[in-house]
Amino acid sequence: MLFDTHCHLDVAAFDEDRDAVFGRAHEAGVTQFLNPAYDLESSRRAVALAQAREDVVAAVGIHPNDAGEFGGETLNELRRLAYRRFPPHLSPLPQGERELVVAIGEIGLDYHWKTVPPEKQAEAFIAQLQLARELSLPVIIHCRDAHDDCLEILREHGQGLSLVLHSFAGKMAHLRAALALDYHIGVGGPLTYPSAHTLRDCVQAAPIERIVLETDAPYLAPQGWRGKRNEPAYLRQVAERLADVKSMSLDDIARITSDNARRLFRLEDGNR
């Protein structure tokens, strides 16, 4: 059973066939889904989807490319959406109850598109890391063309947080830095691309206990579907490629990466 730890199933790309997308995912062995957000509206949609489906949990947050208007009101709304409905000591939750929001994300830095000044991105990033610490929530990191600055901020403001570097695309030095901070890396469709030699080298070097699987659907479809809409059913292809890279069985890859995800997002204590 596979866990897609990063899929945007709330977006308009799935409005016409969302139920069928879930059906195909389950047929492919993908049975759990984490839907992260990128702005306030997608945060609300992610929570609503998690409320509607038992197999979905949500993350709320402001993506760096949407951080231009970030301020106190935005942070307060995220806090409201992410607020744990039960005291932290109440674990497992009462019978029939579950957490809907299990992480802050996706947040971080993006120097590729240059739509928001780096200093404004950093301001929103740090504020949301502090919110994650306040609420004792794990964090999903978006980092594109900004690994050195991102890791510098995490060393100062992310110590002790449970955290995954979504769609990891760094170099070996960045991997070592992330592992030294006890972080996870998210691995998706790019692992299957013929040119992704650096990524495969990093994945081969990373302990399997620090890897979680993701699709980033509807984006970053694996080889064979590149240029088309990605969906969680394709996570099986990622898992198969990871099994090749790590010289492990597909069953072991599915079991270990799913267990990693449940530990990372604290879904193993009866809350799910």
Give all strands (DSSP E) within the chain, no chain letters.
Answer: 2-4, 30-35, 56-60, 101-110, 139-144, 163-165, 184-187, 211-213
Spell out the domain ranges in the chain. Answer: 2-264
For 54, 83, 145, 228, 238, the CA distances from 96, given in Å and listed in that order, are: 11, 18, 43, 38, 33
The CATH number that domain 2-264 falls under is: 3.20.20.140
pLDDT in tens, the chain (272 residues): 999 999 999 999 999 999 999 999 999 999 999 999 999 999 999 999 999 999 999 999 999 999 999 999 999 999 999 975 444 444 555 555 678 999 999 999 999 999 999 999 999 999 999 999 999 999 999 999 999 999 999 999 999 999 999 999 999 999 999 999 999 999 999 999 999 999 999 999 999 999 999 999 999 999 999 999 999 999 999 999 999 999 999 999 999 999 999 999 999 754 44
